Structure 1
Amino acid sequence: MSRTICGVDVSKDWLDAHVEPGATAERFGNDAAGIAGLAGFCRDHGAELAVMEASGGYERLAFLLLWQAGQPCGIVNARNVRCFAEGIGFLEKTDRIDAAVIARFAEAKQIMPTPPPSPAQARLKALMVRLSQLGADLTVNKQRRSAAADAETVASLEEVIALLTRQSRRIEGEIASLIDDDPLWARLDRTFRSIKGVASRTVARLLAQLPEIGILSNKAIAKLAGLAPMANDSGRRSGRRHLRGGRAGPRGVLFLIARLAAKYDPHLAALHQRLQAAGKEKMVIRIALARKLLVILNAKARDARTEFANAT
């Protein structure tokens, strides 16, 4: 291996570390003390990079604290690591084996450090997650209210709905203030909302869940959002292309907004009419519109970022 890499398998309670080359392994607790020990372990073995899988949030504390300790970290996709493990003959699965495979995968794929989010970025993402949770809770409780026949039950549900509504409005206000207080985000907000159909909540979700917008190429941002159909060809066969991977949150909101924006944006409207005339399936049209909208937003964001950089 050309680099010394520490693979870290993350679980709720443990961090299993494996350094390659050298095959040195050790287990640490997934808490502040254990992470400090892991940082020392990486330093002692000259690890240039610590790599861990995205593990449903269990990796967040270790990721942030290792960066604070001066240890560069990277995050990789768990499914990709598992496929790599099976490809090199590791059919068995243990925490120690997983840590070793992560290190080897990181070297094979030349994984680079993933910079930690800024405090504002982390807060925006947390607020958007909570807003989504409140929205889901509101939907469930409104459905329960409509089905309830008992007056006492209805009154109880209305109290819950009122509380959830107040919390949603408060968080929406905090999100708006957070975006307004950041000059770049405020510029991107104005830029995105210049497209009719793109509202403030859509902008907030894109900024929270797709912060790379305006930085990556159109092809790369489409793949990151899971809006790049994957080739499936072999020999003379040209297989049907499907979406795979990517970030479900931004993709979902782009599906919804693209249908609305296509009523007003001439480029989206023309694409929609052309695909309909060609007899394309509804889902194919939805994907094409969402991707086109993302490309438009990415181009606008790139221009806005350039203008902001030149003005500062």
Structure 2
Amino acid sequence: MNNSICGVDVSKEWLDAHVEPSGAASRFRNDAAGIADLAGFCRAAGVELVVMEASGSYERLPFLLLWEAGQPCAIVNARNVRHFAEAMGFPEKTDRIDATMIARFGATKKVKPTPPPSAAQMRLKALVVRLSQVSGDLTVNKQRRCAAGDAETVASLDEVIALLKRQQRRLEGEIASLIDDDPLWARLDQAFRSLKGVADRTVARLMAELPEIGILSNKAIAKLAGLAPIANDSGKRSGRRPVRGGRTGPRAVLFVVARTVARYDPHMAAFYQRLQAAGKEKMVIRIALARKLLVILNAKARDARIEFANAT
């Protein structure tokens, strides 16, 4: 159990810190100098763990620099902290209150440190995010070209489309090289691709945004991806069990790929047919297929990790 926890409310310019149980508090700029001061503040207060919310990437710099300074950190879900604050009687919201609630949430939940990603993992995620952006822009500009009515607009859009295609090919090449250069990633890539219908972009997205695959249990990985049904029972009532939360990127990919895999894999196809025969709703089938695919991929990743560990 952590004896001293510092909650940090992160914004674009400021870092508001509050230490539990001492109550020490201060504000620092969200830049390298301010983060160094925050690290010194934590050392002076005997802080064992810094807890901060995911805050639209503004938490990235303090998280990494605090770890470099030797200060363990953890990132928690902002929605969970807000619900905790309201349950504790704090419906109001200020930076100072948020920092206090983050610290108390970390202490109550016994939050564990979140290890920082490796440089390769951060680069892979950045490349995958950028590839997704470029692909989206490419789709939009192709649609605009179809709707364009004059030659000058068509020519302009053709230039943009050509540029985006070049960037797309370059990003795909860099992602493939990055995966091939890492022995574990290369083994995971081979394991995932053994399932017909799972292509390079699916592999890259899972490795970038779901690096825990093959490490966590099937239930834990499904919950992390937002594909685990949430119990909704009370007394004799057994309610519908929805899915919510989790990482939207991997979940969106699994929704699309699962239906493709079901066309080729006999086990997935049989599972799909059983759900249809049982009269399940389309969305229920879609979620069930995605979860089934994730469980299969998690098992393949677990086996690949074991083989890699035994070979080294």
TM range (shorter): over 0.9
Letter in 1 for 2:244: R
* 2:33 paired residue number: 33
CA offsets, 1:270-312, max 9 Å, x none? 1101010000011111111100000000001000000000000
Check conservation: 2:2, 2:48, Cα contact below 8 A. no
1:266 shift after superposition? 1.4
The answer to whether structure 1 residue 123 and structure 2 residue 103 are counterparts is no
Structural mapping, 1:106-255, within 5 Å? 106-255=106-255
1:244 Cα deviation from its structure 2 partner: 1.1
Shift of 1:2: 5.2
Residue in 2 aligned with 1:60?
Answer: 60
One-letter identity of the residue aligned with 1:27: R
2:20 is equivalent to residue 20 of structure 1: yes
Asked if structure 1 preserves the Cα contact closer than 8 Å seen for 2:213 and 2:301, the reply is: yes
| Structure 1 residue ranges, 4+ long, deviating more than 6 angstroms after superposition | none
Three-state SS of the structure 2 residue aligned to 1:52 is strand
What is the rounded CA distance, in whole Å, between the counterparts of 1:228 and 1:260 in structure 2? 21
- Secondary structure of 1:262's counterpart equals helix
Does the 8 A contact of 2:226 with 2:245 survive in 1?
yes
Q: Which residues of structure 2 form unaligned runs of 5+?
A: none
Secondary structure of the residue aligned to 1:240 is: coil
Q: Secondary structure at the match of 2:246?
A: coil
> Residues 83-125 of structure 1, C-alpha deviation per residue, up to 9 Å, x if partnerless?
0000000111110010000000001111000000000000000
Alignment: residue pair count: 312
State yes or no: 1:89 paired with 2:94. no
Question: TM-score, normalised on structure 2?
Answer: 0.99
Partner Cα distance (1:2, 1:37) in 2: 22
Checking the alignment, whether the CA contact within 8 Å between 2:16 and 2:99 is kept in structure 1 is yes
CA distance in 2, matches of 1:77, 1:86: 15
Per the alignment, in what secondary structure is the counterpart of residue 102 of structure 1? Answer: helix
Shift of 1:43: 0.4
- Is it true that 1:290 corresponds to 2:290 in the alignment? yes
- Conservation of the 8 A alpha-carbon contact between 2:2 and 2:110: no
Aligned residue in 2 for 1:104: 104
Task: Provide the residue aligned with 2:305 in structure 1.
Answer: 305
Q: State the Cα distance separating 1:8 from its structure 2 match.
A: 0.1
1:82 Cα deviation from its structure 2 partner: 0.1
Unpaired stretches in structure 1, ≥5 consecutive residues = none
Once the two structures are TM-superposed, the CA of residue 153 in structure 1 deviates from its matched residue by: 0.5
The CA deviation string for residues 133-188 of structure 1, in whole angstroms up to 9 with x for no partner, is 00111111111111001100100000000000000100100000000000000000
Q: Percent identity?
A: 80
SS at match of 2:8: strand
Cα distance in structure 2, aligned partners of 1:137 and 1:288: 31
Q: Report Cα offsets for 1:196-239 as digits up to 9, x if no partner.
A: 00001100000000000000000000000000011111111111
AA aligned opposite 1:104: R
Work out the CA distance in 2 between the residues paired with 1:102 and 1:78.
9
> Separation in 2 of the partners of 1:88 and 1:283?
36
Alpha-carbon distance between aligned partners in 2 of 1:144 and 1:288, rounded to the nearest angstrom: 36
Give the TM-score, by structure 1 length. 0.99
Question: 2-side partners of 1:167 and 1:2: how far apart?
Answer: 47
Q: Give secondary structure in 2 for the equivalent of 1:173.
A: helix
State the distance in 1 between where 2:105 and 2:267 align.
42
Match of 2:277 in 1: 277
CA distance in 2, matches of 1:83, 1:132: 32
Q: Matches of 1:184 and 1:255 in 2, distance apart?
A: 26
Report the AA paired with residue 236 of structure 1.
K
